[in-house]
Structure 1
Amino acid sequence: MNPYLILGIAALIIIAAALVGMTLAYRRRADRRALSLHRLLELADRLEGDLKTCRAGLQQAHAVMSLNPDLPASSEQEARHAIDAGLRSLLAQRIWIRDTAPTASQEELDKAVASMNDTRDRLRPLLAALDRAQHELDSAMREHLRREHDA
């Protein structure tokens, strides 16, 4: 067999293998980007849900406290501003996702995912504390109404 033919076939096999490798690497990178973008959108939805749950819980707590003068007053306005600030920040993040994420580097996407995860992690104990406080408020209100009824 002609040595040039063997070299030509070997070169074609090497080129084909390189093309397959590059295609697989590109596909893995594209899949990772798509997964990161999907995760970002999913986290944004969950964070929005967390913030809205927090807002509803605070509104309910303030409504109960306003009915019972024996309970200490709380800074409803301050709490409302904090939740609104969180929602505005989330809106800015959603705009970043819409405008920048499609062309962002994988590192930028990973940082955005990590940041949103961190925010949810910080919010989780606050939501649990709010839930406990709501239960305590409900119990205090029932006790107050029971004492009023018995008097």
Structure 2
Amino acid sequence: MNAYLTLGSVALFLALVAAVAVALWYRRRNDRRTHSLHQLLELADCLEGDLKTCRAGLQQAHAVMSLNPDLPAASEQEARHAIEAGLRSLLQQRIWIRDQAPRASQDQLDRAVSNMIETRSRLGPLLKALDQAQHALDDAMREHIIQRGPEA
């Protein structure tokens, strides 16, 4: 009788260990999905901010350049279209997040996060260059004003 009781206790213990292991696996999986979804949403917000910063900087630069016909004109229309295309692409990504992400595999979520990180990393140097160009343009405009004098 004691052998059956001990065997039953061991089997019950093993069943409990297996149940705990499965519960921990599901919890870890769920936590990872939740983290990926939050990361996707946060990255989308950051990317939108980057694109809007870029758009504002380009608008400001084009406004300054339009005041001085001596400065080389850049293609304002092309720049505007590029930014708008980026914002449209981001909107499509947000729609995917809303509609597909809850049912997406972890691999799909990981790829979406990776793509968003890659996009932001490619946009980063462009934003930095735009900021530097804006400073150079501001300096050039100040120099131009000083050369022409206050009466111009």
The TM-score with structure 1 as length reference comes to 0.98
Distance in 2 of aligned mates of 1:135 and 1:3? 84
What percent identity do the matched residue pairs reach? 72
- Code of the residue aligned with 1:121 in structure 2: it is S
1:127 maps to: 127
1:31 maps to: 31
1:8 maps to: 8
- Code of the residue aligned with 2:33 in structure 1: it is R
Distance in 2 of aligned mates of 1:37 and 1:73? 42
* Deviation by residue 1:30-74 (Cα, 9 ceiling, x = unmatched): 000000000000000000000000000000000000001110011
2:81 maps to: 81
- Residue 6 of structure 1, CA deviation: 1.2
Output aligned runs, 1:2-151, within 5 Å: 2-149=2-149
Distance in 2 of aligned mates of 1:70 and 1:135? 18
- Code of the residue aligned with 2:116 in structure 1: it is M
- Code of the residue aligned with 1:50 in structure 2: it is D
Distance in 2 of aligned mates of 1:60 and 1:69? 15
Distance in 2 of aligned mates of 1:103 and 1:15? 30
- Code of the residue aligned with 1:33 in structure 2: it is R
Distance in 2 of aligned mates of 1:138 and 1:22? 62
Distance in 1 of aligned mates of 2:26 and 2:74? 55
SS at 2:149 equivalent = helix
- Code of the residue aligned with 1:15 in structure 2: it is A
